[in-house]
């Protein structure tokens, strides 16, 4: 039983990831399975293939925020991108409990069902807004894309919903028909968040959303994420290399290194009393 | 010229192997309405983009008993239409005609004839850009996946952006349409006026893109629905208050032209074959 500080925790996790493995490269006889690699590396010295995620497991409960921290190349982004089908996994399961009245392993469903999961059950906010937004379409249009994909073919309804979402992320409605490339970095991230929330998904994946933003904008985006979590009860996986962000947002934290989860637990516990040597190093390396 | 070609080239220009391959692709296209079937587009004696896809379809379909009509933007006598007709005449025994009623195969660019197709007629359309997703997605691999997953939200988004900007859908030609509730196609750059003619039509519509190496089809009696939002419906061009100055027609697609002498704006039927027939009928009366 995983302990969580989320007050509205339910017993059944919304998303349960087990033994997730992700490899970049063809692999060779020396790295057929990640167990064949040394503990202090995730790169095969023979063929250069990289196991970005090795045997990763976690449970996400309703309304909970899980933070994933680690250095660059530790597999944080690969994990969330795999969960959003941007990357193909080598093996593993991720069971979502809110799937058409039952539960399903998201990696074993058909391509069309994966599309359903992407549109209805998950939202993704990328580090780089260019990955999450279509810059040649208006910000309202970007939200419309998600709504249309979910079957809304009424322009009036689409615009009402887009206005509501943009209002929520504090973007003036008057700028709804402007291209996101005219927006600042913080505003682009907020448009991305509103796009990700368009169909009220129960799970939101955030990949380094505050990286590259100045401190005041960072604070606004973090406040917004907290507000969304409170109001919508969305379960979130937040990837960041910034322990400050994790401290502010996450109920539980997972520390990754060389594609492996080295430690996970309550955020306060991880940051105040780190057990693993790497976590201790990470916590003490704060400027 | 004709004798020389007869001696040096195969019947209908293409070799039998090529024709067989194109016919096989055509059959597949008919079997899966709206699906773009790749084919090995051949080098033709006209430039890419001048109707090589349509021409290859025509040449692989025609036989001695066929009668061919070629139109270019509604005109029977434009340079492109005349050149294609001459080429087909010179390498086959096919007769050509300007009358849609008498033609068994009609090759066209940018227009569908005014007279509805019969079930014994085939309309071959020349297509410059067969891929409706191309404006928003450059990679062929991705567009194939999007078609397979029926993920057409980016096409809808284009219509949405049009409505936001202009308060109406401004796509004048090549209007994206759903075929048989499955595939969205670019119906070649025909005007919106012609799109409803594709729906539940009696004849067979074939689309050939030589440069892009794709063939697709709308078999007879197939549903073809132009995309429309629930609150913004598809509309065709309206010529309600205009009349063809040659035949007096009020219910055909009209071209807007300026009289060279007077500078006056006048309208005339875009389909010249249809207009000529009407003029003859008027004179007979």
Q: Are B256 and B264 in contact (CB under 8 A)?
A: no
User: Mind listing the domains of chain B with CATH numbers?
Assistant: 2-226 (3.40.50.11310), 238-285 (no CATH)
Pairing of strands A91-99, A15-24: antiparallel
Q: At what angle do helices B52-61 and B16-31 cross, to 10 degrees?
A: 100
3-state secondary structure of A150: coil
Out of A118-127, A264-273, A276-285, B2-11, pick the least confident.
B2-11
Q: Which residues of A fall below an 8 Å CB-CB distance to B?
A: 111-112, 115, 134, 137-138, 140-141, 144-146, 148-149, 153-156, 158, 177
Q: Looking at the domain assignment, is residue A193 inside a domain?
A: yes
Instruction: Supply the pLDDT for residue B265.
Output: 92
Among B159, B161, B169, B234, most A C-beta atoms within 10 A, so best to mutate, is: B161
In whole angstroms, how large is the CA radius of gyration of chain A? 19
Q: Looking at the domain assignment, is residue A180 inside a domain?
A: yes
Q: Which residues of B fall below an 8 Å CB-CB distance to A?
A: 136, 145, 148-151, 153-154, 156-157, 160-161, 163-165, 229-232
Cα nearest neighbour of B154 on chain A: A145
Which positions in chain B touch A88 (Cβ < 8 Å)?
Answer: none
Q: Looking at the domain assignment, is residue A78 inside a domain?
A: yes
Domain of A74, CATH number, reads 3.40.50.300
Of A112, A141, A149, the CB nearest to B160: A141
**Which structure tokens are listed for B130?**
């067969």
Q: How far is B255 from chain A (nearest CA, A)?
A: 32
For chain A, the domain total comes to 1
Q: Looking at the domain assignment, is residue A280 inside a domain?
A: yes
Q: Looking at the domain assignment, is residue A7 inside a domain?
A: no
b/e A138-160 (16+ beta carbons within 10 angstroms → b): bbbbbbbbbbbbeebbebeebbe
Overall pTM > 0.90 = no
* Whether ipTM exceeds 0.90: no
- For residue range A43-96, list pLDDT tens digits in order: 888 888 999 999 999 999 998 999 999 988 899 999 999 999 999 999 999 999
Of B148, B164, B230, the CB nearest to A153: B230
Pairing of strands A252-257, A65-70: parallel
Give the A:B interface size as CB pairs under 8 Å: 47
Mean pLDDT of B232-249: 92
Domain that holds residue A222: 62-85+113-284
CB contact under 8 A, B161 and A138: yes
- For residue range A202-212, list pLDDT tens digits in order: 999 999 988 87
Q: Looking at the domain assignment, is residue A91 inside a domain?
A: no
The alpha carbon torsion through B244, B248, B250, B252 (nearest 10 deg) reads: -60
Percent of chain A with pLDDT over 70: 96
Q: Looking at the domain assignment, is residue A48 inside a domain?
A: no
Mean pLDDT of B251-273: 92
Catalytic positions of B, written as ranges: 34, 244, 247, 269, 275
Q: Looking at the domain assignment, is residue A187 inside a domain?
A: yes
Phi, psi values for residue A76, rounded to 5°:
-65, -55
Phi, psi values for residue A57, rounded to 5°:
-140, 140
Pairing of strands A252-257, A235-239: unpaired
Q: From CA A119, how far away is CA B167, in angstroms rounded? A: 27
Per-residue DSSP letter, B202: S
Classify residue A38 as exposed, middle or buried by CB count within 10 Å of its CB (0-12, 13-18, 19+).
exposed
Of A137, A149, A153, the CB nearest to B151: A149
Q: From CA A37, how far away is CA A134, in angstroms rounded? A: 39
- Does A1 score more than 70 pLDDT? no
- Does B1 score more than 80 pLDDT? no
Of A111, A112, A158, the CB nearest to B160: A158
């Amino acid at each position: 039983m995983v302990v969580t500080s989320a007050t509205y925790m339910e017993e059944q996790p919304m998303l349960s990831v087990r033994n997730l493995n992700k490899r970049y490269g063809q692999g060779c006889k020396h790295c057929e399975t990640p167990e064949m690699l040394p503990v202090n590396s995730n790169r095969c010295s023979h063929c250069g293939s990289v196991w970005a995620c090795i045997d990763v497991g976690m449970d996400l409960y309703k309304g909970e925020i899980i933070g994933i921290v680690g250095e660059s190349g530790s597999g944080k982004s690969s994990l969330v991108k795999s969960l959003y089908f941007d990357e193909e996994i080598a093996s593993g399961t991720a069971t979502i409990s809110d799937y058409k009245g039952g539960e399903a392993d998201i990696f074993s469903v058909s391509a069309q069902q994966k599309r359903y999961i992407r549109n209805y059950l998950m939202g993704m906010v990328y580090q780089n807004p260019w990955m999450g937004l279509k810059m040649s379409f208006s910000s309202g249009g970007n939200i419309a894309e998600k709504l249309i994909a979910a079957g809304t073919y009424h322009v009036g309804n689409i615009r009402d919903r887009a206005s509501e979402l943009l209002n929520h992320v504090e973007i003036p409605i008057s700028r709804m028909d402007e291209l996101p490339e005219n927006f600042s970095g913080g505003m682009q991230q907020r448009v991305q968040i509103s796009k990700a929330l368009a169909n009220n998904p129960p799970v939101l994946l955030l990949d380094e959303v505050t990286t590259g933003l100045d401190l005041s904008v960072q604070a606004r985006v973090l406040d917004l994420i907290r507000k969304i979590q409170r109001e919508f009860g969305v379960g979130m996986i937040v990837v960041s290399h910034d322990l400050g962000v994790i401290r502010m947002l996450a109920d539980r934290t997972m520390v990754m290194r060389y594609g492996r989860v080295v430690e996970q637990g309550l955020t306060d516990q991880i940051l105040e009393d780190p057990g693993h040597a790497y976590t201790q190093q990470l916590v003490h390396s704060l400027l | 010229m004709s004798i020389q070609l007869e001696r040096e080239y195969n019947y209908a220009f293409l070799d039998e192997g090529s024709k067989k391959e194109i016919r096989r692709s055509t059959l597949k296209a008919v079997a899966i309405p709206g699906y773009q079937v790749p084919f090995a587009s051949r080098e033709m004696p006209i430039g890419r983009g001048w109707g090589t896809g349509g021409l290859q379809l025509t040449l692989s379909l025609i036989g001695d008993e066929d009668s061919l009509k070629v139109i270019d933007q509604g005109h029977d006598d434009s340079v492109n239409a005349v050149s294609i007709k001459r080429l087909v005449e010179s390498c086959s025994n096919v007769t050509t005609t300007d009358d849609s009623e008498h033609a068994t195969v009609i090759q066209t660019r940018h227009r569908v004839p005014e007279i509805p197709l019969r079930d014994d007629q085939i309309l071959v359309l020349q297509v410059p850009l067969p891929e409706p997703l191309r404006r928003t997605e450059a990679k062929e691999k991705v567009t194939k996946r999007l078609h397979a997953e029926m993920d057409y939200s980016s096409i809808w988004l284009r219509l949405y952006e049009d409505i936001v900007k202009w308060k109406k859908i401004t796509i004048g030609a090549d209007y994206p349409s759903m075929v048989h509730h499955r595939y969205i196609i670019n119906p070649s750059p025909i005007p919106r006026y012609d799109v409803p003619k594709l729906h539940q039509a009696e004849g067979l519509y074939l689309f050939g893109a030589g440069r892009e190496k794709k063939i697709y089809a709308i078999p007879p009696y197939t549903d073809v629905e132009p995309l429309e939002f629930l609150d913004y419906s598809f509309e065709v061009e309206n010529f309600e208050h205009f009349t063809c100055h040659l035949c007096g027609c009020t219910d055909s697609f009209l071209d807007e032209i300026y009289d060279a002498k007077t500078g006056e704006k006048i309208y005339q039927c875009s389909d010249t074959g249809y207009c000529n027939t009407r003029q003859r009928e008027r004179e007979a009366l």
